[in-house]
């Protein structure tokens, strides 16, 4: 069950991606990687853990490099351009699999991308299965960034995160009017060093229901 390299037409050129098409998949997982300006790619170990977890739960998976990362065309923006890349990738995934529900994952900066993408997809009539925001860069979400409202939302935040201030995420969660769950991971830094199994153990049962 190896992922297949694919190139997807994006807003500013082709986007490099890895696609795993399970024969009897029960859903789809689209995974958004961390900040490209800080070295984030689709091969990040947290992204890789999320991909394997989704695969093991019976989901076909797609992860991709934003513009300017790896073999993806363009220049990194670390802003709305990456969201537009994600929209193009989600559209491609939907064309491959017209009937299966999509679960979105975003780690760090990717949490901002996945949340904003989710809002755009839902506004376009897509019924999402679940949105997972892992150590998410919630401070990037502005008034114009509408989260999806009709799917389960799970926030997973390391308690000793050295990149994203945990309290910022906790405060954002407390102020968020829509239903969601906040899961805190004790003694865990931003990149889940030594805690990737804990991450998988939190995500897996929420994919299996």
**What is the tens place of the pLDDT at every residue in 147-163?**
999 999 999 999 999 99
**Exposure string for 4-18, b = 16+ CB within 10 A, e = fewer:** eebebebebeebbbb
Across all residues in the chain, what is the average pLDDT?
Answer: 96
| Paired tokens of 65 | 């490099």
Beta bridge mates, 3: none
Contact of 32 with 106, CB cutoff 8 Å: yes
- Average pLDDT on 58-63 reads 98
Percent pLDDT > 90 in the chain is 94
| Angle value at C-alpha 178, between 28 and 87, nearest 5 degrees | 35
Bridge partners of residue 69, in order along the sequence? none
Those residues whose C-beta lies under 8 Å from the C-beta of residue 201, and which sit 6 or more positions away, are none
Residue 163 sits in a domain whose CATH number is: 3.40.50.1820
Per-residue pLDDT, averaged over 142-148, amounts to 90
Closest CA to 42 of 64, 57, 27: 64
Tokens representing 101? 């529900």
Instruction: Kindly report the number of other CB atoms within 10 A of residue 39's CB atom.
Output: 9
Residue 209 has pLDDT above 80, yes or no: no
- Checking if the pLDDT of 12 tops 90, the result is yes
pLDDT, tens digit (0-9, with 9 covering 90-100), for 23-59: 999 999 999 999 988 999 999 999 999 999 999 999 9
Distance CA 96, CA 30 (A): 13
SS3 content of the chain, % helix, strand, coil (to 5): 35, 25, 40
What pLDDT digit, counting tens, does each position of 149-205 carry? 999 999 999 999 999 999 999 999 999 999 999 999 999 999 999 999 999 999 999
The long-range contacts involving 164-170, CB below 8 angstroms and separated by at least 24 positions, are 164/108, 164/135, 164/136, 164/137, 164/138, 164/190, 168/138, 168/139, 169/135, 169/136, 169/138
Count of domains in the chain? 1
State the pLDDT confidence band at 1, using cuts at 50, 70 and 90. confident
* Residue bearing the bigger pLDDT, 189 or 142: 189
* pLDDT score at 197: 98
Give the pairing of strands 130-134 and 153-158.
parallel
Domain of residue 84 covers 4-208
Q: How confident is the model at residue 78 (pLDDT cuts 50, 70, 90)?
A: confident
pLDDT score, position 143: 84
User: pLDDT value at position 87?
Assistant: 98
Q: What is the pLDDT of residue 77?
A: 86
* Integer Cα distance of 21 and 202 in angstroms: 24
Q: What is the mean pLDDT of residues 74-92?
A: 95
What's the pLDDT score for residue 116?
97
DSSP for residue 101: P
What pLDDT does 31 receive? Answer: 98
Average pLDDT for residues 55-78, to the nearest whole number?
A: 96
């Amino acid at each position: 069950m190896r992922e297949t390299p694919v190139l997807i037409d994006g807003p500013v050129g082709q986007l490099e991606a890895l696609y795993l098409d399970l024969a009897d998949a029960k859903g789809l997982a689209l995974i958004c990687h961390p900040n490209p300006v800080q070295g984030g790619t689709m091969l990040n170990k947290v992204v890789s853990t999320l991909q394997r977890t989704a695969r093991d739960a019976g989901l076909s998976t797609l992860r991709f490099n934003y513009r300017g990362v790896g073999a993806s065309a363009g220049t990194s923006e670390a802003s709305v351009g990456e969201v537009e890349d994600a929209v193009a990738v989600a559209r491609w995934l939907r064309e491959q699999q017209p009937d299966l529900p999509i679960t979105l994952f975003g780690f760090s900066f990717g949490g901002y991308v996945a949340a904003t993408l989710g809002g755009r997809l839902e506004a376009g009539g897509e019924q999402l299965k679940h949105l997972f925001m892992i150590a998410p860069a919630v401070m990037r979400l502005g008034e114009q960034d509408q989260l999806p409202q009709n799917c389960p939302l799970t926030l997973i935040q390391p308690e000793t995160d050295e990149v994203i201030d945990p309290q910022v995420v906790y405060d954002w969660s407390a102020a968020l009017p829509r239903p969601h769950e906040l899961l805190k991971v004790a003694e865990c830094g931003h990149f889940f060093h030594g805690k990737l199994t804990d991450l998988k153990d939190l995500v897996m049962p929420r994919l299996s229901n």
